[in-house]
Chain A
Amino acid sequence: MAAGSETNLNNTNAASGHVNVLFFGQLKERLKCDKLTVDIAYSLSIKSFKHMLVEQNPHWQAWLEERDVLCALNQTMSSSDELVKAGDELAFFPPVTGG
């Protein structure tokens, strides 16, 4: 946790940069995309980030915003109001089906 908050502080000071976005499972297949890099000028919520992706790719809306999509920020399950910062890894995926 301590390492995480240190990273947060650094990123707040230099807010612009890349976010690495990953997609898995059916979502990856439907969007025809497994990863992309997005430049952001300031930190924003996951919900706003998703909205930004949909604005750039309108045909993604049905899959990203209207379906039961889960999200992990820096490999930790996250809710849509958490903040995405430069340097973060953000993953979207459907409910898990392993085992």
Chain B
Amino acid sequence: MSISIKVQTMDFSVGEQHGALCSNNKSDGAVVTFTGLVREFSSGDNVIALELEHYPGMTEQLLRSIAEQAQTRWQLARISIIHRVGYLALGEQIVFVGVTSRHRQAAFEGAQFIMDYLKNHATFWKKEHFKDSSNWVEFKQSDKQALSKWQSIEQDAIK
């Protein structure tokens, strides 16, 4: 089982990441990847860019711990997480999560679990830049609600 965690300003190639997940991997039949992009926010002014900062050291530890938790719940042989920081223009890639598994369900669920936990726990902060102003993004309750489905599954499993 392998875990790769990267926090970087540089862009990444989804093709290369996908290739690395598949390369010399004869045991896994499923690869699921997610890529997050900078988008125009629907509320208020149009976003022209995002600025992302993080807590160096703690962020990498948290991402690794999230990946390890995912591996305890599903058989995920390979996990790759990349999160960019710095100034990112509209349309640029922000985050990549890729996982491999023997079967698709574990891969789908594992990737979603990692993204849901990343959104709620990983120490990143996002600032939206508009034409004439900027604004720190507020934490969304909907992100917290996304976690509850994994927690209720956990409780069901305990029962």
A33 to chain B, nearest CB (A): 14
Does A57 interact with chain B (Cβ within 8 Å)?
no
Interface residues in A, total, Cβ within 8 A:
17
Of residues 119 through 136 on chain B, the ones whose CB sits less than 8 Å from some CB of chain A are: 119-126, 136
Are A97 and B137 closer than 8 Å at their CB atoms?
yes
What residues on B are CB-neighbors of A97 within 8 Å?
124-126, 136-140
Given the known interface contacts A25-B53, A72-B58, A94-B136, the answer about A99 and B125 at a Cβ–Cβ threshold of 8 Å is no
What residues on A are CB-neighbors of B78 within 8 Å?
none
Partner of B120, one of A25, A75, A76, A96: A96
Interface residues in B, total, Cβ within 8 A:
27
Of residues 83 through 117 on chain B, the ones whose CB sits less than 8 Å from some CB of chain A are: 83, 94-95, 115
Given the known interface contacts A24-B53, A25-B136, A26-B136, the answer about A98 and B125 at a Cβ–Cβ threshold of 8 Å is yes
Q: Mark A13-29, 1 if CB is under 8 A from B, else 0.
A: 00000000010111001
**A-B contacts at CB below 8 angstroms, number:** 68
What residues on B are CB-neighbors of A96 within 8 Å?
119-125, 139
Are B54 and A98 closer than 8 Å at their CB atoms?
yes
Does B118 interact with chain A (Cβ within 8 Å)?
yes
Q: Which residue of B lies closest to A74 (CB)?
A: B58
Q: Which residue of B lies closest to A68 (CB)?
A: B139
A88 to chain B, nearest CB (A): 13
Q: Which residue of B lies closest to A75 (CB)?
A: B58
B52 to chain A, nearest CB (A): 7
CA distance A24 to B61 in the complex (A): 17
Partner of A95, one of B53, B95, B139: B139
Q: Mark A84-99, 1 if CB is under 8 A from B, else 0.
A: 0000000101111111
Given A94-B125, A96-B123, A99-B119, 19 more pairs with CB closer than 8 A: A22-B55, A24-B125, A25-B53, A25-B136, A72-B58, A75-B61, A93-B123, A97-B124, A97-B126, A97-B136, A97-B137, A97-B138, A97-B139, A98-B52, A98-B119, A99-B83, A99-B95, A99-B115, A99-B124
Q: Tell me the B residues contacting A by CB distance below 8 Å.
A: 36, 52-55, 57-58, 61, 83, 94-95, 115, 118-126, 136-140, 143
